[in-house]
Amino acid sequence: MFLVTGGAGFIGSNIVAAIEERGLGKVAICDRLGSGGKWRNIAKRELADIVHPDRLFEFLGDNGAGIEAVIHMGAVSATTASDADRIVDTNFRLSVALWNWCAGHRVRFVYASSAATYGDGAEGFDDDNAPDALARLRPLNPYGWSKHLFDRRVVRMVADGEPRPPQWAGLKFFNVYGPNEDHKADQKSVVAQIYPRAEAGMPARLFKSHHPDYADGGQLRDFIWVGDCADVVLWLLEHDTQEGLFNCGTGGARSFADLAAAVYRALDKEPQIEYIPTPEAIRDRYQYFTEADMSRLRAAGYDEPFTTLEDGIGAYVKGFLNTDDRYR
């Protein structure tokens, strides 16, 4: 059985769907569903259990012998979150506790890190696993820092020969988009935020650039289709000798203007864009450029092509956003 924390969330629910579609075995998820529509992300899945986070370690105690891998996607994931105590409890302490449980019970452990660990990109986007390389990174917000804190703890434990799971991998997800993100409100991908305006024939709203090197709409990010992220997770589980920190992007940055244009063209409409001021609260914490160095994952043997921006947005718009059923 696979246990996916955050399994009703965006990336987590897509991983659950991929496991089921490939017939890899039973899946239990750990998540808070709340009173909104988050449950719809897993409504099509056959699940062994749905575990509330408060019961997670009770569940592990009762079912540990049957768990093949823990896929830890659960986190406070909002880049605008400001309660650092809550963020540390969820993103760092819980992750350390799961690592220790997996090490003690010989269970494989794959977890979500983030491209937010790279900060403004001044140190590049190389997923170097060396402790001194990680020490040079400066995340720009509490979310990115908490993910970085755990990455550094993991790498130090491994370097010091402390107990470790039989396989471990941390994935630095870049800008992910795709189905099952409706519950994320203002943290949804830019694709999902642009779609309603494009569908209504209104111009997309993008942030103005406040950096001299980037024109309005020319800010560059590495946008990755969520299905590719799920494929990387499952590839790692199928190749249990591969471990470490790995970037999970496409390796090619594209502009926000390109992204907006692709949404309109998926609807057979001419692109329209208006630029609005970037909120002052995030101007000094804004990533103007991200681009994953994918050489480590490629060297490990992952040779599947990544979905192009146009193909991914076309699949998302035509297969989900512009249909009666937006859920995978």
Query: In what order do the strands lie in the sheet containing 27-30?
Result: 49-51, 27-30, 2-5, 69-72, 108-114, 168-173, 244-248
Q: Which of 143, 177, 195, 264 is catalytic?
A: 143
Tokens of 76: 């406070």
CB contact set of 232 (below 8 Å; sequence gap of 6+): 171, 246, 248, 297, 302
Q: Give 115's DSSP letter.
A: G
CB contact set of 147 (below 8 Å; sequence gap of 6+): 75, 91, 112, 113, 114, 116, 117, 139
Active site residue 208: no
Active site residue 177: no
H helix intervals, the chain: 10-21, 56-63, 84-87, 94-105, 131-135, 142-159, 190-199, 226-238, 256-266, 280-283, 295-300, 309-316
- Please state, in angstroms and rounded to a whole number, the distance separating the CA atoms of residues 2 and 26: 6
Q: Give 72's DSSP letter.
A: E
Tokens of 148: 């970085």
Q: Which of 184, 188, 286, 327 is catalytic?
A: 184
- Please state, in angstroms and rounded to a whole number, the distance separating the CA atoms of residues 308 and 252: 9
CB contact set of 75 (below 8 Å; sequence gap of 6+): 6, 90, 91, 112, 143, 146, 147
Q: Are 176 and 11 in contact (CB under 8 A)?
A: yes
Q: Which residue type does 43 have?
A: A
**Active-site residue list:** 143, 184
